[in-house]
């Protein structure tokens, strides 16, 4: 369903022009991340304990990691990947597979989930809780320190920053709400938490998200079979993009002009005939993404 002229997709119906990047189907594809230097899209298959890379110029897909499940990851300033796993954070060189680990434990978490880096190289990292209240959000700073910002969720999910860097979005899948905070880049502080959008049950569950250059929020909808584009003014849905899978997990912008929307999905064990489930997809848009920030947890 097209929205207004600004940021409208060029084509309709959407599914006709949505490209599958690979015949491979993830069990739980997540965390798409575009590396402009390598012209490569990375994503994780969480329960499979794998990280994959798709190279735009050649279309080649390769597995760059296999090991402990990776809930979320960031691109480091030196080109490495910082993997947020079950009980540690690991630096991965995606070219040779070398790992450097930093232990981390929290009694309330089962594992890390979505993460995002800020302009100063900090990382905000959410967790999957052992119950509906024990998950939360942590901040990891380049000086090696970490801080619990809050608990109160079973599933901390997608995050992103507004184009001016003054607002941060955070998703609580447990309550089906997307929140926003005032954000101070100098200190990394989040203040004045309020609801950006409360999802109606018919919308599905909000999962991963990204933000475009105009400030619109693109939110993946678990059980919703879609990505929605939401107004930064009031959270209203202005556009819905159908996806050929019920469990849509996350999205990011990338490609040469940052106008390609990459989408990850998951499979359901009780729906083996859902042929598009678990796929990774790409569709061209008239929106433009914001270049992502790089973390500085393992490099100065």
Which sequence positions are flagged as catalytic?
A: 207
State the CB neighbour count (10 A cutoff) for residue 78: 12
**Selection from 100, 90, 142, 145 nearest residue 121 by Cα:** 142
What ranges make up the beta strands (E) of 85-215? 88-92, 99-103, 109-117, 123-129, 135-140, 146-153, 156-161, 167-172, 177-184, 189-198, 205-211
The answer, yes or no, to whether the previous bond of 227 is cis (omega within 30 of 0) is no
Tokens read off for 44: 């994780």
CA distance 106 to 96: 30
Per the CB < 8 A criterion, the answer to whether 161 and 148 are in contact is no
Contact in structure between 13 and 251 (CB atoms under 8 Å): no
Distance (Å) of CA 277 to CA 27, 48, 207, 269: 9, 15, 16, 10
Three-class HEC string of 247-271: EEEEEEEECCCCCEEEEEEECCCCC
Tokens for 32? 């798409």
Containing H/E element for 83? Answer: strand 81-84
| Residue 87 CB neighbour total at 10 angstroms | 13
What's the residue count for the chain? Answer: 300
The token duo for 12 is 């309709």
């Amino acid at each position: 369903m097209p929205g207004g002229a600004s940021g409208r997709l060029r084509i309709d119906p959407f599914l006709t022009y949505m490209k599958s990047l690979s015949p491979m189907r993830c069990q739980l594809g997540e965390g798409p991340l575009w590396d402009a230097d390598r012209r490569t899209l990375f994503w994780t298959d969480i329960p499979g304990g794998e990280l994959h890379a798709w190279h735009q110029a050649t279309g080649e897909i390769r597995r760059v990691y296999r090991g402990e499940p990776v809930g979320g990851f960031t691109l480091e300033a030196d080109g490495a990947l910082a993997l947020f796993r079950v009980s540690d954070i690991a630096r991965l060189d995606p070219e040779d597979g070398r790992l450097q680990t930093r232990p981390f434990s929290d009694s309330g978490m089962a594992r890390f989930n979505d993460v995002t880096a800020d302009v100063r190289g900090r990382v905000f990292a959410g967790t999957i809780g052992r119950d509906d209240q024990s998950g939360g959000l942590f901040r990891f700073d380049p000086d090696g320190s970490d801080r619990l910002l809050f608990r109160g969720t079973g599933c901390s999910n997608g995050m992103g920053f507004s184009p001016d860097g003054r607002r941060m979005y955070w998703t609580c899948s447990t309550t089906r709400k997307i929140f926003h905070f005032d954000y101070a880049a100098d200190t990394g502080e989040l203040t004045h938490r309020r609801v950006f959008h409360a999802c109606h049950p018919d919308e599905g569950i909000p999962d991963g998200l990204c933000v475009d250059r105009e400030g619109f929020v693109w939110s993946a909808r678990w059980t919703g079979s879609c990505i929605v584009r939401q107004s930064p003014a009031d959270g209203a849905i202005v556009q819905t993009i159908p996806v050929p899978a019920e469990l849509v997990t996350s999205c990011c912008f990338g490609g040469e002009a940052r106008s390609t929307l990459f989408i990850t999905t998951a499979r359901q064990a009780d729906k083996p005939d859902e042929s598009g489930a678990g796929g990774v997809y790409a569709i061209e848009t008239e929106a433009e993404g914001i270049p992502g920030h790089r973390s500085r947890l393992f490099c100065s």
